[in-house]
């Protein structure tokens, strides 16, 4: 990964915005710049970037991990055992010292959307002038380079294996969570066969029957019943980079109306995938897919945008939304997932992950989208 | 769940602190008060509590879900499709209207540690006086009632099935992620057999061989080698309530030193579990377990506290840490997980989840802790 180039670009932005030092709080941004990502929870990790060095504040249990991954950073360790009580026992002990290098009124770049209000007040009290750097980091992350795209492609391929395996077990009587588990197991076996020392992450949400009209639900122990429409959603990430892969399917015999709506959602997705390319505005992709639903008389049953950016975070900007006029560029990555949700009939949504190229775009997820292949008797 | 009682208690605190309205941003706190929890990501959800009503702001795709789960709340929907563009298209549109009910200078309770700096500035600009309510909500959540304990017990039992299944597959050549997958699959099958319409969540982290000395790492495709020490960590949650269950094991033949350190970690955990009860200070539990390591000459290889509170969040306060003098109470729930990490030898840590009762405490996780049962040839 081009950590050096990312650091240079951040410093260039800092120069333009007259920012003396950046405090990076968001774990995905920390990983983006340093290559280090911890399971942090209740132990804060802080990454500081100034003109000529980077400092990483970590709890003691991350000391070895940070030394291995965040090469080039000065690592500052805080402790939570009594024999080290004379040293730093909180991230703030280090932060106080590191920030004391800057004069009152220095400009400190922070991510206003990730930093907590408590931290904001703490930094403000020190006399810093706080400026939002989050937007600029987000914009850097919009465009994926070839290293990132290589990881995304692996994630996409792995997600296809997992979706295929889960769906091969679709039948009356198995639960949403069991469906998820089949795909997970194969995913992790395949990945372990193919890769040596890599991190695979996975998340699933399967909503079945009456719950398929609620687009975002955690999977439950509900068992499939004859005639259920089911939306199986899956994200797989490979060393942090995520592919999203979602398929609607039907257990048992669908009604004609269900088949029609299924095909309508497939068509809306096809339109969106065909339209997305560099040079087009985000809103146009959303509106084109929406138009498919509207023309068929189902506009009122659409309740979300057609897609979102994807990379290190579950949902990233830019959003493919009716009011976003951002012009898309080569190297951006999006989900294309128009959905229609009709109470009493079912919810219908596929999601694929597409990468924008000079020529247009291609999908890194390929599982079949046809209704005929997604009915399980 | 006693949502009514929780609301009453929050309003009592609001009265004492002269807070006019609370803005609850943290998803776990929203779930605690309302029973509604969404997969939110990029679409904010806001829960407002004032003297005589509660308001829930949700994106359109959560409308049906919120109506079902957050009974008693006024639900305000924002939209992201063009035909609704004349209505609210952001959570802030609703928030502006709802907060306009209060005069300038009104006191608004917020969670300073979860609210973003951006939201803080937005609310401050409206002329509210912002007060931290997060600490008081956290204190309410310290003590679990009988409904919560019932869910925790189920989570503990399910986690035992999963850990047993994963460990039954421990052998040279399988990967960290494959080990995780075996337990997940059985967990979700068992849960689906036992429960009708419940939500099970699960997370695992398995660190093997040289990585066992780094206490917190994501599982990877690394395959076990002869002589590996492995720490398998698992959290399982049942309708939101979490049990933590971690076991160290050895693949192949351990060295005498590895066996000694294993037994030392087991002894430290035994001491911690025996000591924890209502009336004792958090710090005493941490120090007692630490003393076991120190006496054996391994104090410098301890790099984290003995445990944390547990419930709806992965790690919750209170923390069992050397500098926390909080006196423990009946109904609190903790992990007990002293660890020792010696480079070149291995990392050793079991974690169990204990509930404090009038009589002392009991563990809701029961998998064997003995080194003899945790060596897999």
| Count of A-B CB contacts under 8 Å | 228
Do residue A61 and residue B199 have CB atoms under 8 angstroms apart? no
Check residue B41 and give its pLDDT: 83
What confidence tens digit (pLDDT) does each residue in A219-252 have? 999 999 999 999 999 999 999 999 999 999 999 9
Token pair belonging to B219: 């599982």
pLDDT at A377 over 90: no
Assign domain B143-376 one CATH number from 3.90.1150.10, 3.90.230.10, 3.20.20.450, 3.30.450.40.
3.90.230.10
pLDDT digits (tens, 9 = 90+) for A28-72: 999 999 999 998 889 999 999 999 999 999 999 999 999 999 988
Q: Do A188 and B178 touch (CB under 8 A)?
A: yes
Contact B214 A64 (CB under 8 A): yes
CA distance A174 to chain B (A): 8
CA dist A320 → A283, B15, B146, B258 (Å):
6, 44, 45, 54
* pLDDT value for B110: 98
Report which DSSP code applies to B82.
G
Is residue A171 within 8 Å of residue A376, measured between CB atoms?
yes
What is the predicted pLDDT for the residue at B40?
A: 82
Residues in A touching B129 (Cβ below 8 Å): none
User: Assign residue B27 a region: left if phi > 0, alpha if psi is -120 to 50, beta otherwise?
Assistant: alpha
What the block records as the tokens of B189 is 């099958």
Topology (CATH) of A3-141? Creatine Amidinohydrolase; Chain A, domain 1 (3.40.350)
CA A102 to chain centre: 35
Q: What is the pLDDT of residue B85?
A: 86
| Cα dihedral value A280, A286, A292, A294, nearest 10 | -130
B332, B121 Cβ separation under 8 angstroms: no
Say whether A143-376 and A3-141 share the same fold: no
How far is A349 from chain B, CA to nearest CA, in Å? 13
Cα separation of B35 and B68, whole Å? 10
Output the pLDDT for position B165. 98
Q: CATH classification of B3-140, choosing from 3.40.50.300, 3.30.365.10, 3.40.350.10, 3.40.50.150?
A: 3.40.350.10
Q: What is the pLDDT along chain B (377 residues), one digit of tens a residue?
A: 999 999 999 999 999 999 999 999 999 999 999 999 998 889 999 999 999 999 999 999 999 999 999 988 999 999 998 889 899 999 999 999 999 999 999 999 999 999 999 999 999 999 999 999 999 999 999 999 999 999 999 999 999 999 999 999 999 999 999 999 999 999 999 999 999 999 999 999 999 999 999 999 999 999 999 999 999 999 999 999 999 999 999 999 999 999 999 999 999 999 999 999 999 999 999 999 999 999 999 999 999 999 999 999 999 999 999 999 999 999 999 999 999 999 999 999 999 999 999 999 999 999 999 999 999 98
Q: So what's the pLDDT on residue A145?
A: 97
Task: Name the residue ranges covered by the structural domains of chain A.
Answer: 3-141, 143-376
- The pTM (predicted TM-score) of the whole model is 0.96
pLDDT per residue over A258-317, tens digit each?
999 999 999 999 999 999 999 999 999 999 999 999 999 999 999 999 999 999 999 999
Assigned token pair, A317: 């900007």
Q: Please classify residue B51 by burial: count the beta carbons closer than 10 Å to its beta carbon, then call 0-12 exposed, 13-18 middle and 19+ buried.
A: exposed
**CB-facing half-sphere around the CA of B270: CA atoms within 13 A:** 10
Q: Which residues contact B52 (CB under 8 A, 6 or more apart)?
A: none
Contacts of B293 in chain A (CB under 8 A): none
Q: Which of B303, B313, B337, B345 to mutate to test the interface with A (most CBs of A within 10 A)?
A: B303
Please provide the DSSP assignment of B200-245 as one string: EEEEEEEEEGGGGGSSS---BSPBP-TTEEEEEEEEEEETTEEEEE
Report in angstroms the alpha-carbon separations of A19 from A133, A174, A217.
9, 56, 42
Side-chain-facing half-sphere of B204: CA atoms under 13 Å: 31
Q: Across the strands, what pairs with B46? A: B57
Q: Kindly report the number of other CB atoms within 10 A of residue B296's CB atom.
A: 16
Q: Is B113 within 8 Å of A116 when comparing Cβ atoms?
A: yes
- Residues B231 and B224: their CA atoms lie apart, in Å, by 12
3-state secondary structure chain A: CCHHHHHHHHHHHHHHCCCCEEEECCHHHHHHHHCCCCCCCCCCCEEEEECCCEEEEEEHHHHHHHHHHCCCCEEEEECCCHHHCCCCCCHHHHHHHHHCCCCCCCEEEECCCCCEHHHHHHHHHCCCEEEECHHHHHHHHHCCCHHHHHHHHHHHHHHHHHHHHHHHCCCCCCEHHHHHHHHHHHHHHHHHHHCCCCEEEEEEEEEEHHHHHCCCCCCECCECCCCCEEEEEEEEEECCEEEEEEEEEEECCCCHHHHHHHHHHHHHHHHHHHHCCCCCEHHHHHHHHHHHHHHCCCHHHCCCCCEEECCCCCCEEEEECCCCCCECCCCCEEEECCEEEECCCEEEECEEEEEEECCEEEECCCCCCCHHHHEEC
Q: Closest to A200 (Cβ–Cβ): which among B112, B177, B185?
A: B177
A340 DSSP β-pair partners: A348
Point out the residue among A60, A82, A215 whose CB comes nearest to the CB of B303.
Answer: A60
pLDDT of residue B377: 85
**CA B218 vs CA A37, A347, B204, B205, B214: distances in Å:** 9, 34, 8, 5, 10
Q: For A119-176, how does the pLDDT look when each residue is reduced to its tens digit (9 = 90+)?
A: 999 999 999 999 999 999 999 999 999 999 999 999 999 999 999 999 999 999 999 9
CB-based contacts of A96-99 (< 8 A; 24+ apart in sequence): A98/A48, A98/A55, A98/A57, A99/A21, A99/A123, A99/A126, A99/A128
Contact B258/B250 with Cβ under 8 angstroms? Answer: yes
CA A113 to chain centre: 16
Residues A190-197, mean pLDDT to the nearest whole number: 97
* pLDDT at position B68: 95
Q: Do A39 and B205 touch (CB under 8 A)?
A: yes
Which of B116, B187, B303 is nearest residue A61 as measured by Cβ atoms?
A: B303
Task: Say what the pLDDT of residue A202 is.
Answer: 97
């Amino acid at each position: 990964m081009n950590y050096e180039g990312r650091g240079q670009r951040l410093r260039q932005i800092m120069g333009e915005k007259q920012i003396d030092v950046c405090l990076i709080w968001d774990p995905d941004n920390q990983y983006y710049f340093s290559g280090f990502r911890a399971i942090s929870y209740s132990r804060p990790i802080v990454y500081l970037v100034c003109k000529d060095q980077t400092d990483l504040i970590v709890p003691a249990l991350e000391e070895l991990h940070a030394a291995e991954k965040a090469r080039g950073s000065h690592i500052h360790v805080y402790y939570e055992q009594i024999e080290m009580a004379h040293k730093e026992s909180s991230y703030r002990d280090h932060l106080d010292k590191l920030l004391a290098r800057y004069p009152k009124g220095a400009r400190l770049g922070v991510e206003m959307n990730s930093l907590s209000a408590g931290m904001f007040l703490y930094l403000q009290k020190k006399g810093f002038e706080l400026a939002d750097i989050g937007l600029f980091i987000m914009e850097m992350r919009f465009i994926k380079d070839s290293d990132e795209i290589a990881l995304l492609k692996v994630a996409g391929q792995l997600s296809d294996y997992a979706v295929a395996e889960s769906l091969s077990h679709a039948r009356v009587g198995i639960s949403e969570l069991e469906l998820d588990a089949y795909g997970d197991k194969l995913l992790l076996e395949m990945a372990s066969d193919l890769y040596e020392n890599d991190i695979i992450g996975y998340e699933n949400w399967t909503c079945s029957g009456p719950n398929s009209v609620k687009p975002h639900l955690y999977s439950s122990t509900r068992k499939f019943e004859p005639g259920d429409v089911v939306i199986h959603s899956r994200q797989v990430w490979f060393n942090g980079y995520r592919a999203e892969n979602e398929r609607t399917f039907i257990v048992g015999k669908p009604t004609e109306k269900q088949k029609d709506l299924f095909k309508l959602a497939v068509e809306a997705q096809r339109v969106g995938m065909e339209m997305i390319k560099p040079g087009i505005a985000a809103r146009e992709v959303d509106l084109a897919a929406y138009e498919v639903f509207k023309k068929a008389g189902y506009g009122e049953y659409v309740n979300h945008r057609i897609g979102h950016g994807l990379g290190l975070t579950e949902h990233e900007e830019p959003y493919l939304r009716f009011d976003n006029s951002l012009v898309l560029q080569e190297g951006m990555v999006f989900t294309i997932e128009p959905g229609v949700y009709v109470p009493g009939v079912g919810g219908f949504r596929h999601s694929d992950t597409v990468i924008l190229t000079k020529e247009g775009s291609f999908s890194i997820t390929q599982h079949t989208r046809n209704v005929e292949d997604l009915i399980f008797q």
